[in-house]
């Protein structure tokens, strides 16, 4: 399973952008972008959105990948991480249903 950084590096290559050209286009330091692609630094949602636009990639898919890595990072060392994720899923579904009923 590839990481968000690996996916974005692959998209960058397919789009024909160098690391430097990409960094300039989204106004970020080249070293920081490189670390993000290598998994040494976390992406921000804003950077993911900018890269999706730049690469003409599926924004929704990349945001889902971003959020899943964010959740994984928080839960990976927790003994009850999977159980907590299941509870959170139920709570999220409940809140969405409740918000839809209030509209």
Q: Can you read off the two tokens belonging to residue 67?
A: 């959020």
Q: What is the pLDDT of residue 100?
A: 87
Q: What is the pLDDT of residue 2?
A: 87
State the average pLDDT over residues 32-52: 97
**Which pTM does this prediction carry?**
0.85
Tens-place pLDDT, residues 1-20: 789 999 999 999 999 999 99
Please state, in angstroms and as integers, the Cα–Cα distance from residue 24 to each residue in 28, 64, 78, following that order: 6, 25, 38
**Start-end of H helices in the chain:** 4-15, 19-26, 30-38, 45-55, 59-75, 81-102
Reported confidence tier of residue 55, pLDDT bands at 50, 70, 90: very high
10, HSE (Cβ side, Cα atoms, 13 Å): 8
Q: Quick one: what percent of the chain has pLDDT higher than 70?
A: 100
Reply yes or no on whether the pLDDT at 103 is more than 80.
no
Domains of the chain with CATH codes: 4-78 (1.10.260.40)
């Amino acid at each position: 399973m590839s990481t968000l950084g690996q996916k974005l590096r692959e998209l960058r290559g397919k789009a024909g952008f160098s690391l430097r050209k990409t960094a300039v286009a989204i106004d970020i330091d080249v070293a920081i972008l490189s670390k993000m692609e290598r998994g040494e630094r976390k992406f921000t949602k804003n950077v993911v959105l900018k890269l999706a636009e730049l690469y003409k990639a599926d924004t929704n898919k990349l945001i889902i990948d971003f959020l899943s890595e964010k959740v994984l990072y928080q839960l990976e060392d927790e003994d009850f991480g999977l159980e907590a994720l299941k509870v959170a899923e139920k709570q999220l579904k409940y809140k969405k249903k409740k918000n839809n009923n209030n509209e």
